[in-house]
Amino acid sequence: MSDEANLLYLLAALLFGYLLGSIPFGLIFTRMAGLGDVRKIGSGNIGATNVLRTGRKGLAAATLLADALKGTAAVLIAAQWGPQFAIMAALGAFLGHLFPVWLGFKGGKGVATFIGVLIGLKPLAALIFCLIWLGVAFASKYSSLSALVASAATPIILWLLGEPGMAGIAVVLVALLWWKHGQNISRLLAGTEGKIGQKG
């Protein structure tokens, strides 16, 4: 394959991942359930955490699963052509969730899709991510802090697992995830971030 053709296929994998990742399942599910536009409640986010604010735990769980699986699907499909295409699809799926063209590039914060692409790229890394998340959540009761810590550890985990290419792209994903969690970080520093199970 020529360099030009390889670049074209890489861009196609990126676009494919983006289009799959940009499907706003949280918005679709809540509208199908007759709950209106989820962007008009709570944080205005399309992710599972904001869907949970509708009081429909089943819809929130479905959103979490779908947002993760769209990342996994993008990676596994693109992986049929090689690991570099899987990595590009992972980046595309994550960017699609964060910046969906259908919603004016205003999407979710990316934690579920981050886990989803990890499952597709390196299942062991996804498992370690979840274990770290659970450990920090148990100790701190902060969901956002758990995601921030677990994501920050991911590039190191991938490197230690012998996947430097994946570790490199993970640095980009983590930087974007942290940026999308800017308000959460500010509240954590101010001591005003809501804890898991806390009402109001």
Q: Over the stretch 73-89, which tens digit does the pLDDT of each residue have?
A: 999 999 999 999 999 99
Of 122, 116, 117, 132, give the one whose Cα is nearest residue 158. 122
Secondary structure (3-state) at 103: helix
Residues sharing a CB contact under 8 Å with residue 149, sequence separation 6 or more, in sequence order: 132, 133, 136
Per-residue model confidence (pLDDT) at position 74: 97
Does 195 fall in a domain? no
Does 197 fall in a domain? no
Can you list the alpha helix ranges (DSSP code H) found in 54-198?
Answer: 57-78, 83-98, 111-121, 123-140, 143-160, 164-180, 182-190
Does 186 fall in a domain? yes
User: Within its chain, how far is the Cα of 193 from the centroid?
Assistant: 20
Per-residue model confidence (pLDDT) at position 36: 83
Per-residue model confidence (pLDDT) at position 84: 94
Does 49 fall in a domain? yes
User: Within its chain, how far is the Cα of 33 from the centroid?
Assistant: 23
* Residue burial 129-138, b: 16+ Cβ < 10 Å; e: rest: beebbeebbe
Per-residue model confidence (pLDDT) at position 53: 82
CB 129 within 8 A of CB 157: yes
In the predicted model, is pLDDT for residue 58 greater than 50?
yes
Per-residue model confidence (pLDDT) at position 200: 45
For residue 45, the enclosing domain spans: 3-190
Q: How far apart are CA 91 and CA 4, in angstroms?
A: 20
pLDDT band at 194 (very low <50, low <70, confident <90, very high): confident
Which of 19-33, 47-61, 70-84, 167-181 shows the lowest per-residue confidence on average (mean pLDDT)? 47-61
Digit-coded pLDDT (tens) for 148-192:
999 999 999 999 999 999 999 999 999 999 999 999 999 999 999
User: Within its chain, how far is the Cα of 88 from the centroid?
Assistant: 15
195 DSSP 8-state letter: P
Does 78 fall in a domain? yes
Q: Stretch 36-56: mean pLDDT, rounded?
A: 82
Does 80 fall in a domain? yes
* Structure-block tokens of residue 117: 């692409």
CA angle 42, 68, 146 (to 5 degrees): 65
In the predicted model, is pLDDT for residue 199 greater than 70?
no
Total domains in the fold of the chain: 1
Q: How far apart are CA 39 and CA 20, in angstroms?
A: 20
pLDDT above 90: percentage of residues in the chain? 74
Does 8 fall in a domain? yes
Q: Is the pTM of this model over 0.85?
A: yes
pLDDT band at 198 (very low <50, low <70, confident <90, very high): low
Per-residue model confidence (pLDDT) at position 176: 97
Does 137 fall in a domain? yes
